[in-house]
Structure 1
Amino acid sequence: MPNWKNTIQTRPLFAWLLPVFFVWHGFTGNFGFIAWKDAGILLAIYLGFTLLFFGLAYWLYRNVVKAALLATCLMAFHFFFGSIQDGLKNVFPDSLPSRYSFILPAALLILISIIILLKKRKKTLYNLTRFLNILLLLLILLDTIMVIPVKSARTGNLPAGLTACDTCARPDIYFILADEYAGNTELKDLFGFDDSIFIQQLQQRNFHVLPESYSNYNYTPFAVASMLNMDYLNLAGKDRGKSDLTYCYETIRDNRFGQFLQSAGYDFYNYSVFDFKGQPARTLETFLPANTRLITSQTLLSRLNRDLRFNLVTRFKSKKDIRAYTYANRDNNQHLYSLTMKKAEQKSTRPKFVYTHLMLPHYPYFYNSKGQEQPFDSLQEGRQTNRQLYIEYLQYANTELLKLIDHILKQSSKPPVIILMGDHGFRHFGVPVDQKYYFLNLASVHLPSGNYRGFSDSLGGVNMLRVLLNTEFNQHLPLLKDSVTYLKD
């Protein structure tokens, strides 16, 4: 029997191939988001734990294959825990089999059973060894083959009709997205608040405010992806599923608006919660898991951290962890705000495109209208439905946004383009409301040309940057038909 055949049948390569497959599968499935170095570090960590489990199991069994099988079972449970949990939730929604209080004890009992069965097993395990070795080798090979078309497919083309404009002025562009900033119609109808003073202050700074603007999606990654790519999204469902979220992140990362500006000689500065090509998020992760978290987000430890850690630190009164969770958005906002202010001060011979994404007036509502900190209790989960706190924070946001706009206008050597808008409307009602209110958002634009003819009162987010390119860059993009998609939680 040739050497390699003997190796496949008798050597438990599967224990080491499983971590390789898991990392490689995640790497290829999120190609371009994860650096080779980061994936290598993650793989080394997983191989280290596999070696640790293998060593402990070998001490118990004094058998290489049995030790490898036990180590593989432990690592497989860690790797695929999210899929197991989600499957149980689908079959047993909101019932005991889908809860940690059932899953973890059941998993422990299964593990003990496997340990005992392997201990009692007298026959060789060559057939199982050969099967697992071949299976994992084939899966790794399949992912390797699949990554080539994935790589080429993710390089988007500019929309049809876009052309170079050598005579265009190429002003600096600031795209400021105030997360969950509702439109004034919604504020008046559902909150009893009139935002007209802020709108007038924008108009005094030569902003054009779109009174009936709306988002095409009611969830941030989807809304931002459609705006920056200037097109509707080809979604698999309407429930914010993982595959659709990944698709949104990919679209944001290498979007068509950014491609056009890059071809026009713009430098891009990413001050947002999202990763872009060559520029990762400048914040603690909020929507998009950073780097290798795209691979690890469904593992046992990641699920425990997501679902149980906050409850545990709350129960054990870990003030440090509680504050870190609670104030993450505030700290991110301050950091991104400061970066934008500093970038406005920097002079350059090349035009710049600055995307600033602030999580305000998005919950938690950290400040009242006077800029005073809200009590810590008001920042806890469940308070996002408090409309009065939202309005207070919105008024604080108005003050900070005007300061930022004034600074940009003052520091700019020539008039810039400034887009200030919300990504969608308010979403935390707690009671049934007309679905239209989930989409109504603030939208305003400041153009050096002062030509706002294309910016109709009820322009949708997917057409916002199309109109901008038509107006400021002499393009001829058609406007897409009005449409909204309500995404379920």
Structure 2
Amino acid sequence: MNKKITALPVFSFLLGFFPLIYLWNSNKNQIYPRDTGLAFLLTAAFIIIVWLIFLLIYRQPVRASLGSSIVYILFFSFGHVFNLIAQSPQLLAAFGFMKLLALYILLGVAAFYALHRVKMVPAATVQALNLIIVILMAFNLFQISQSEAAKNQKSAPMNAAQSSASEGSVTKGQSTRPDIYYIILDAYSRQDVLKKITGFDNSEFINALRDRGFYVADCANSNYNGTLISMSSSLNYAYHDKNADLENEPELFNELKNNRIRYDLQKFGYKFVTTKGYSSFNDIQQSDIYLNYLEDAGMQDTLAQSRFTQMYLETTLLRPAYELYKLDPAKYGRLAGWLMLSDNENDQNWEARFWYNQTKYVFSSLEKFPEKDGPFFVYAHINAPHGPIVFDRNGNFRFTPNADDKASLYVDTVIYLNSRVLELVDTLIKKSEVPPIIIIQGDHGAHKLSSGVDRNKILNAYYFPQEMKDKLYSTITPVNTFRLILRDLFHQNIDLLPDTVYAQVTNEIEPIPSTCDQ
């Protein structure tokens, strides 16, 4: 009985799913399991239809499984092989996707000719094929499960044992506490760097902030020059351990998600507000209020799922449709439009349209918080002026693919953000019964337009009560933002840290002091 079971030709079904499992495993640190749902449904339908067709042709389950396996191998490997060829411009020029497609057709004909000549497949061969694919599947699924376990691990905030915030109960006066708005403008460079790399003079915006009572640090730097590593440090107001693996995204996200400031402020009655992050490792959904345009608009959140599904389809024999579309979008738009998973009639990138709507949605949502029952700690991570570049200078939708290194488009986004930030600030100040705390920071500078320590030079502006404002200084870094708030607003026994910048001075990341001479 056991031999009969192991001789069942399940290898073809597992083989059909293997490319999807492999792709998931290769990108496991960037996606959630739910992001793979659509791809699994499409794959399951394809596998079943192909197998049933071959069962009708051969009338034998084993031969049907072998025939369908040939189709699965050819169909699901095409994009991977093309990607390998595309790594060499010379090879790509000599062996484009049309020639590769012709080669695949020849291989398919040869494989089916060989299958036609096979009269009997030994049970031992079927068992061996089953065992091989089971081992491959198990290996990849084990790695995925390990990654998911790391993502979901419930760890304490960074250096929580050293936390000095009050453990006391919330007082009745909590309603008089100010809302705290921590607004991150992703990749927003400091005014001197903006002038240097783009020629744009941002002094009008800086002066407008100062006229409204902001302190703008002239020599501000981020402690790190990447989003995840920077924000997990800022929200825990601590430097990362020198021996820590700073490439370990699951661990850094765990520190970001379980950040220290959310727990310290919860003790004072604060509600935690977050916005949808650009990737799964910058997306804190475990909050009291989660601002997600698609979800809050009553739509299914399909951005990550669509992104993964499109990436998956590009590894298949459908890849030629994408390549034809790239060659002539106007001519082949209908051919590849549905594969691009776009939701607008002009074939604009769906992801870019989402971030346009999400950014505007976050701004409009923040303006309503003074009317809500707080107090709130709002961590609003706005994915601009970082790419995708989706705004013109008037705030209209304009998408240019791969435009992160185009200075003029970056400047247009900055100009729009400046006007929208000032509108938001005016609303928050005017509508708040208790004057709010507002911090406007870049998580790092413009990566694609700057280099070295310039990548750490950021916008850093504070709207504080005067007695706290007097204690700010020009070289302050984000690691001390919440230390200063806890010390001077909540009267906690916590000291400021030395302001250190981890910058790529040579070929290595080196710690240097934050100064005005860099």
TM-score (norm 2): 0.72
Show the counterpart of 1:482. 501
Contact kept? 2:388, 2:401, Cα under 8 Å: no
Contact kept? 1:421, 1:442, Cα under 8 Å: yes
Evaluate the alpha carbon distance shift between residue 189 and residue 224 of structure 1 in structure 2; reply closer, same or farther with a 3 A threshold.
same
Q: After superposition, where does 1:33-48 map in structure 2 within 5 Å?
A: 34=32, 42-48=39-45
Show the counterpart of 2:389. 364
Match of 1:341 among 349, 360, 367: 367
Q: Distance in 2 between matches of 1:64 and 1:72?
A: 12
Q: Distance in 1 between matches of 2:384 and 2:129?
A: 47
Alpha-carbon shift at residue 398 of structure 1 (Å): 1.3
Q: Distance in 2 between matches of 1:98 and 1:228?
A: 50
Q: Distance in 2 between matches of 1:74 and 1:14?
A: 13
Evaluate the alpha carbon distance shift between residue 65 and residue 467 of structure 1 in structure 2; reply closer, same or farther with a 3 A threshold.
farther
Q: Does 1:400 align with 2:420?
A: yes
Show the counterpart of 1:444. 461
Q: Distance in 2 between matches of 1:422 and 1:130?
A: 57
Alpha-carbon shift at residue 357 of structure 1 (Å): 1.0
Alpha-carbon shift at residue 163 of structure 1 (Å): 4.1
Aligned-CA RMSD value: 4.5
Evaluate the alpha carbon distance shift between residue 268 and residue 23 of structure 1 in structure 2; reply closer, same or farther with a 3 A threshold.
farther
Instruction: Show CA shifts across 1:295-341 (max 9, x none).
Output: 64652347849877565534446782344556554333222222222
Evaluate the alpha carbon distance shift between residue 82 and residue 391 of structure 1 in structure 2; reply closer, same or farther with a 3 A threshold.
same
Q: Does 1:320 align with 2:345?
A: yes
Show the counterpart of 1:134. 131
Evaluate the alpha carbon distance shift between residue 79 and residue 290 of structure 1 in structure 2; reply closer, same or farther with a 3 A threshold.
farther
Identity %: 21
Q: Give the secondary structure class of the aligned counterpart of 1:180.
A: coil
Match of 1:267 among 271, 283, 287: 271
Count, aligned residues: 466
> Could you tell me which amino acid in structure 2 is paired with residue 341 of structure 1?
E
> Could you tell me which amino acid in structure 2 is paired with residue 332 of structure 1?
Q
Q: Distance in 2 between matches of 1:98 and 1:215?
A: 46
Evaluate the alpha carbon distance shift between residue 132 and residue 446 of structure 1 in structure 2; reply closer, same or farther with a 3 A threshold.
farther
Alpha-carbon shift at residue 124 of structure 1 (Å): 0.7
Contact kept? 1:53, 1:71, Cα under 8 Å: yes
Contact kept? 2:229, 2:246, Cα under 8 Å: no
Contact kept? 2:51, 2:64, Cα under 8 Å: yes
Show the counterpart of 1:240. none
Q: After superposition, where does 1:70-469 map in structure 2 within 5 Å?
A: 70-75=67-72, 84=81, 87-88=84-85, 92=88, 95-96=91-92, 100-101=97-98, 103-139=100-136, 141=138, 143=141, 147=145, 151=149, 154-160=153-159, 161-165=162-166, 166=168, 171-216=178-223, 218=225, 220=227, 223-228=230-235, 231-232=239-240, 252-258=256-262, 260-261=264-265, 265-274=269-278, 275-278=283-286, 282-283=292-293, 290-292=303-305, 296=309, 298-301=311-314, 304=319, 313-316=329-332, 320-323=345-348, 327-342=353-368, 344-360=369-385, 364=389, 366-368=391-393, 371=394, 380-381=400-401, 385-429=405-449, 434-448=451-465, 450-452=467-469, 456-461=473-478, 464-465=481-482, 467-469=484-486
Match of 1:7 among 5, 8, 11: 5
Alpha-carbon shift at residue 483 of structure 1 (Å): 0.5
> Could you tell me which amino acid in structure 2 is paired with residue 276 of structure 1?
I
Evaluate the alpha carbon distance shift between residue 270 and residue 147 of structure 1 in structure 2; reply closer, same or farther with a 3 A threshold.
same
> Could you tell me which amino acid in structure 2 is paired with residue 313 of structure 1?
P
Evaluate the alpha carbon distance shift between residue 373 and residue 31 of structure 1 in structure 2; reply closer, same or farther with a 3 A threshold.
closer
Q: Distance in 1 between matches of 2:107 and 2:258?
A: 45
Alpha-carbon shift at residue 347 of structure 1 (Å): 1.6
Alpha-carbon shift at residue 404 of structure 1 (Å): 0.6
Evaluate the alpha carbon distance shift between residue 337 and residue 299 of structure 1 in structure 2; reply closer, same or farther with a 3 A threshold.
same
Evaluate the alpha carbon distance shift between residue 50 and residue 372 of structure 1 in structure 2; reply closer, same or farther with a 3 A threshold.
closer
Q: Give the secondary structure class of the aligned counterpart of 1:321.
A: coil
Q: Distance in 1 between matches of 2:197 and 2:215?
A: 24
Instruction: Show CA shifts across 1:214-263 (max 9, x none).
Output: 345555555445544555495677xxxxxx66776666555554455556
Instruction: Show CA shifts across 1:402-442 (max 9, x none).
Output: 1011112223232322221223323444xxx6533333221
Alpha-carbon shift at residue 53 of structure 1 (Å): 1.1
Evaluate the alpha carbon distance shift between residue 105 and residue 32 of structure 1 in structure 2; reply closer, same or farther with a 3 A threshold.
closer
Q: Distance in 1 between matches of 2:501 and 2:233?
A: 13
> Could you tell me which amino acid in structure 2 is paired with residue 212 of structure 1?
C
* Structure 1 segments unaligned to the other structure (5+ residues): 238-243
Alpha-carbon shift at residue 176 of structure 1 (Å): 1.7
Evaluate the alpha carbon distance shift between residue 246 and residue 202 of structure 1 in structure 2; reply closer, same or farther with a 3 A threshold.
same
Contact kept? 2:21, 2:137, Cα under 8 Å: yes
Alpha-carbon shift at residue 174 of structure 1 (Å): 1.7
Instruction: Show CA shifts across 1:115-152 (max 9, x none).
Output: 33222222315334223322344455553597368525
Alpha-carbon shift at residue 186 of structure 1 (Å): 0.8
Contact kept? 1:80, 1:298, Cα under 8 Å: no
Contact kept? 1:27, 1:295, Cα under 8 Å: no
Q: Distance in 1 between matches of 2:112 and 2:212?
A: 72
Greater alpha carbon shift after TM alignment, 316-325 vs 411-420: 316-325
* Structure 2 segments unaligned to the other structure (5+ residues): 296-300, 335-343, 509-518
Instruction: Show CA shifts across 1:55-98 (max 9, x none).
Output: 122233333123223434544566666655555556x4663288
Q: Give the secondary structure class of the aligned counterpart of 2:445.
A: coil
Q: Distance in 1 between matches of 2:228 and 2:332?
A: 34
Alpha-carbon shift at residue 205 of structure 1 (Å): 2.6
Evaluate the alpha carbon distance shift between residue 24 and residue 267 of structure 1 in structure 2; reply closer, same or farther with a 3 A threshold.
farther
> Could you tell me which amino acid in structure 1 is paired with residue 285 of structure 2?
K
> Could you tell me which amino acid in structure 2 is paired with residue 391 of structure 1?
V
